Amino acid sequence: MFKNRLIGVAASVCVFSLISCNALAQVYAGGAIGSSNANINCEGVTDCKTSSVSGDVFAGYGLAPNWGVEIGYADLSKVTGTVTGTYNQQAVTANYSAKTSAVDLTAVYRTNFERDWAAFVKLGVSRIRAQDTLNGTVGTVTAPTTSATSDSTVPVYGLGFDYRLTAKILAFLSVDRRKVKAYDSNGIDLSFNVTNVSIGAQYAF
């Protein structure tokens, strides 16, 4: 009987106080799919592709009604481009690609502005891996492929909105941003910023 009363009180708090109910469950997990875009200057580059499909998964823990902490993995942008020219009267083609992924640890603040709607902001650190590949041809000769992997720890920040579908399931729209520090095999700085827009869902346990 006493347990049932406690459950009833908790439900009343969720309904009447605009406090996010998933904080009572504390542990949650989710995933999202979206589009990421790298702010790379494509001047002089043909077949330049700076946006691609992205995806991420995460798990979180509610520390308080409005605060939480999350850890997640994101498969971010793949940037590709081709540069053509001549060298010693021979056609030269160089192909570049960079694939990035990130492991994030963020603090999350969420506040309700309607009964089932909430806004949230995220701030934390991101461990990013950038894998760069360069290959091409000189005349009829194929140049050897070179690759480099760069790891860096950078800030990550984002914001978004979510909508409560059920007592345990939220749908959300979010935007986040990171700086990818990338270098080729010769140490040339190829760093760029990545903005990721995604939609997803999370489930509270």
Q: What pLDDT score was predicted for residue 187? A: 67
**Where do runs of H (alpha helix) occur along the chain?**
2-16, 22-25
Higher pLDDT, 37 or 45: 37
199-to-100, 103, 132, 146, 168 alpha-carbon distances in Å: 19, 18, 28, 35, 17
Who contacts 74 (Cβ-Cβ below 8 Å, separation ≥6)?
Answer: 54, 55, 56, 101, 102, 103, 104, 196
Q: Is the pLDDT of residue 13 over 80?
A: no
Please state the rounded mean pLDDT for residues 127-132: 88
Structural domain count of the chain: 1
Residue 3 DSSP one-character state: H
Could you give the percent of the chain with pLDDT greater than 90? Answer: 46
Question: pLDDT tens across 107-121, in order?
Answer: 999 998 888 999 999
Estimate to the nearest angstrom the gap between the alpha carbon of 72 and the chain centroid: 9
CATH code for the domain in which residue 193 is found: 2.40.160.20
Q: What mean pLDDT is reported for the chain?
A: 83
Confidence of residue 170 (pLDDT cuts 50, 70, 90): very high
Range of the domain at 176: 2-204
Residue 185 DSSP one-character state: T
Q: What pLDDT score was predicted for residue 120? A: 97
Confidence of residue 71 (pLDDT cuts 50, 70, 90): very high
Lowest mean pLDDT among 76-80, 103-107, 126-130: 76-80
Q: Rounded to two decimals, what is the model's pTM?
A: 0.75
Confidence of residue 11 (pLDDT cuts 50, 70, 90): very low
Instruction: Check: CB of residue 77 under 8 Å from CB of residue 106.
Output: no
Q: What pLDDT score was predicted for residue 180? A: 82
Question: pLDDT tens across 87-103, in order?
Answer: 777 888 888 888 889 99
39-to-24, 47, 75, 77, 111 alpha-carbon distances in Å: 40, 15, 17, 11, 31
Residue labelled with tokens 């909508």: 163
Q: Report the C-alpha gap between 84 and 71 in whole angstroms.
A: 42
Neighbour tally for 145: CB within 10 Å:
10
In the chain the beta strands, taken as DSSP E runs, fall at 27-38, 46-49, 51-62, 67-87, 90-112, 117-138, 141-164, 169-180, 192-204
Confidence of residue 86 (pLDDT cuts 50, 70, 90): confident
Q: What pLDDT score was predicted for residue 10? A: 37
Closest CA to 24 of 34, 12, 33: 12
50 residue type, one letter: T
Confidence of residue 186 (pLDDT cuts 50, 70, 90): low
